[in-house]
Amino acid sequence: MSMDCHFRTPSSSATFVPSSLKNEMILPRKFVSSPRKTHFPSWVSQISVRNSVSSHLQLKSSNGHPLNAVFLPDGSPGSSLLNEQIALQEEDKSVPDSDKVQSTLSITVVGASGDLAKKKIFPALFALYYEDCLPEDFIVFGYARTSMTDEQLRNMISKTLTCRIDKRANCEDKMDEFLKRCFYHSGQYSSEEDFSELDRKLKEKEDGKVSNRLFYLSIPPNIFVDVVKCASQRASSGSGWTRVIVEKPFGRDSDSSGELTRSLKQYLTEDQIFRIDHYLGKELVENLSVLRFSNLVFEPLWSRSYIRNVQLIFSEDFGTEGRGGYFDNYGIIRDIMQNHLLQILALFAMETPVSLDAEDIRNEKVKVLKSMRPLQLEDVVVGQYKGHSKGGKSYPAYIDDPTVPNDSITPTFAAAAIFIDNARWDGVPFLMKAGKALHTRRAEIRVQFRHVPGNLYKRNFGTDLDKATNELVLRVQPNEAIYLKINNKVPGLGMRLDRSDLNLLYRSRYPSEIPDAYERLLLDAVEGERRLFIRSDELDAAWSLFTPLLNELEEKKIAPELYPYGSRGPVGAHYLAAKYNVRWGDLGEDRDP
């Protein structure tokens, strides 16, 4: 599905459209008061009317706040009442556009000279602009210490902007238009004067309109608080909202994370903080709840009664090249498991939320996180990649990175078994595995179901009944897919059974390019939709699970098991799985569709 904003529906008002409409089964979205008028197909108005009884008016943002309205800053006295009235007014089509106060959106990318900004943030902003997902009136400011002119920033950004494969028409023009809205301000991260100067430049561009300001902190964590202090005191909006997207890592453990949250909250309210975990913005992760809660065939099976184990697998076929300095201070458990994989696990295992509202979903995630048992050292395997030569090419060891100490024992691989002590999941092992410099790049969720009781066909499966159980796989990346391994009769006169797949391969079913996770998350932040961002109590619960283990690993100086660059990782991961009678599902991946 392409992220065509005219056709993106807020999850909280997701609407089904007959399959004859295929990829257009999503409803148009917001910016109703934008001067750039959108012409919707006639079926849209029918659906809006049909849903109007339940006040599901689709033509507004997912949190119910249209962007081009005046908003009091989040959390300010009376803001919710006033904002609600404004939202109601927005729904009232009798109010002419000219009577609505025009607002502007200013996005400041702090750390604009860095890797993430170039690789992900600017391209995502351009994609949103190209899909008409940003308001008519917006500007982007880059902020960093590096000295650069606006033109140099534009030049730098232009190298990483891409056009969607299926929408090349006019793309170059759109890029030029987008770049004209990009500006740069060079400043120190702890200088209030420099942020005052940024404020002055922002005001100049905002031209007296109500301004909504979004700051994206794409910088190392040790300067988060300095920036938030300066930005909130000197460059926050006086008339609209101010929000701050904070990149991970959110601390190194419970204490440092708590300290970071307390420091941020000296300057911002929780509602203004958008802690990003980009895995939550990935298409298949977003689809997890849809699959589970909107299909009768899945939700009844979603428990210990039918599920034998669940596996969350992340692997990369490259090492920490270029990021060793950052990585060595964190390791794979903090880099991937405590956030990306745990977030997926929480979504997978939570109880049904009261609604699709952000708070209802996050409440359920917190509950299930609190039901998890803190990780035990004996349920964890750590590894680190070593150098390897293959086909005349040599691959470096982790410690060959010049920014990594020679005696580093930081894990670049980890596997863990997690248990959830609640009625639904009692006794079900949730296995996580994450590693760098492995043989392949992939992220997937694998659900292995129990044996069929009294299976009439058990003799046809040979001795290994485990191989004959159903397995549901959500392949998050690459080549997104959902497939279910089933047993099937091989056509013919005999009775031979075959393991086969019911396969929903995204590129076959949905030919349009899938939006990058950062596009979805940036758009949600602009709209004030918090569902895919981490609330502080979720973060606390996540750290409580991992902090005792991390302390123990560090105190006992547990040496990682070495594995060759490009291999399947340490053998210990297989012993860990075997301890719980589990076989990693990705071992037979050559047969995966």
Ligand X SMILES: NC(=O)C1=CN([C@@H]2O[C@H](COP(=O)(O)OP(=O)(O)OC[C@H]3O[C@@H](n4cnc5c(N)ncnc54)[C@H](OP(=O)(O)O)[C@@H]3O)[C@@H](O)[C@H]2O)C=CC1
Q: Which residues contact 250 (CB under 8 A, 6 or more apart)?
A: 221, 257, 260, 261, 275, 339, 534, 539
- Partner that binds at residue 335, options ligand X, ligand LXAUTJHC, none, CB closer than 5 to 8 Å by kind: ligand LXAUTJHC
- 3-state DSSP call for residue 293? helix
- Residue 447, strand partner residues: 310, 472
Q: How far is the CB of 119 from ligand X (least distance, A)?
A: 6
Q: Which residue is catalytic, options 65, 185, 340, 439?
A: 340
From candidates 105, 125, 219, 313, binder to ligand X by CB under 6 A = 219
Buried (b) or exposed (e) across 103-127, using 16+ Cβ within 10 A? bbbbbbbbbbbbebbbebbbbbbbb
Query: By rule CB under 6 A, what count of residues binds ligand LXAUTJHC?
Result: 3
Contact flag: residue 252 with ligand X (CB under 6 A): no
114 binds ligand X (CB under 6 A): yes
CB-nearer residue toward ligand LXAUTJHC: 73 or 324: 324
Spatial distance between the Cα atoms of 281 and 516, rounded to a whole number of angstroms: 8
Q: Report the C-alpha gap between 28 and 106 in whole angstroms.
A: 24
The yes or no reply on residue 319 touching ligand X (CB under 6 A) is no
Quick note: the x/- pattern for ligand LXAUTJHC over 243-282, rule CB under 6 A, is -----------------------------------x----
- 3-state SS of 396-416 is CCHHHCCCCCCCCCCCCEEEE
Half-sphere exposure of 377 (CA within 13 A, CB side): 13
Stretch that binds ligand X, among 114-122, 132-140, 176-184, 450-458 (CB under 6 A): 114-122
Give me the residue whose beta carbon is nearest to ligand X: 114
**SS3 label, residue 142:** strand
User: In this complex, which beta carbon is closest to ligand X, that of residue 116 or of residue 452?
Assistant: 116
Q: How near is the Cβ of 116 to ligand X at its closest, in Å?
A: 3
Return the residues of window 326-345 that contact ligand X according to CB under 6 A: 326
* Count of chain residues binding ligand X (CB under 6 A): 19
The least distance separating ligand LXAUTJHC from the CB of residue 316, rounded to whole angstroms, comes to: 6
Q: Which is nearer to ligand X, 276 or 438 (CB)?
A: 276
Choosing from 74, 206, 328, 335, the residue that interacts with ligand LXAUTJHC (CB under 6 A) is 335
* One character per residue 288-317, x = contact with ligand LXAUTJHC (rule: CB under 6 A): ----------------------------x-
201 Cβ partners below 8 Å, 6+ apart?
141, 183, 185
Which of ligand X, ligand LXAUTJHC, none is residue 56 near (CB under 5 to 8 Å by kind)?
A: none
Distance of CA 117 to CAs 222, 223, 416, Å? 17, 16, 32
Does 441 interact with ligand X (rule: CB under 6 A)?
Answer: no
**Nearest approach, Cβ of residue 34 and ligand LXAUTJHC (Å):** 31
Exactly one of 247, 357, 471, 516 binds ligand X (CB under 6 A); which one? 247
Cα distances (angstroms) measured from residue 432 to each of 308, 378, 386, 440, 444: 15, 14, 22, 16, 10
Question: Is residue 4 a contact residue for ligand LXAUTJHC (CB under 6 A)?
Answer: no
Rule CB under 6 A: is residue 248 a binding residue for ligand X? yes
17 binds ligand X (CB under 6 A): no
What count of Cα atoms within 13 Å lies in the side-chain half-sphere of residue 376? Answer: 8
Of 87-95, 213-221, 262-270, 487-495, which part binds ligand X (CB under 6 A)?
213-221
Tokens of 43: 């079926």
Report the partner that residue 220 touches, choosing among ligand LXAUTJHC, ligand X, none (CB closer than 5 to 8 A by kind). ligand X
Site of tokens 């904003």: 5
Select from 174, 175, 114 the least CA-distant residue to 146. 114
Residue 357 interacts with ligand LXAUTJHC (CB under 6 A): yes or no: no
CB nearer to ligand LXAUTJHC: pick between 284 and 349:
284
DSSP string of 507-525? HHH--SPPPPHHHHHHHHH
**How many other β-carbons are positioned within 10 Å of the β-carbon of residue 479?**
11
In the list ligand LXAUTJHC, ligand X, none, the entry touching 263 (Cβ below 5 to 8 angstroms by class) is none
Asked if 515 contacts 2 with a C-beta cutoff of 8 angstroms, the reply is yes
- In angstroms, the Cα distances linking 126 to 133, 160, 276, 530 are 10, 10, 19, 22
The yes or no reply on residue 379 touching ligand LXAUTJHC (CB under 6 A) is no
* Whole-angstrom distance, CA of residue 187 vs CA of residue 235: 13
Name the nearest CA neighbour of 274 among 456, 521, 460, 32: 521
b/e for 143-178, b at 16 or more Cβ within 10 A?
A: bbeeebeeeebbebbeeebebbeebeeeeeebbeeb
- In the residue annotation, 340 being an active-site residue is answered as yes
User: Closest-CB residue for ligand LXAUTJHC?
Assistant: 335
Q: Which one of the spans 3-11, 143-151, 415-423, 559-567 is the region binding ligand X (CB under 6 A)?
A: 143-151
DSSP 73: P
Q: How far is the CB of 224 from ligand X (least distance, A)?
A: 8
Active site members: 340
- Contact residues toward ligand X (CB under 6 A) are 111, 113-117, 144-146, 189, 218-221, 223, 247-249, 326
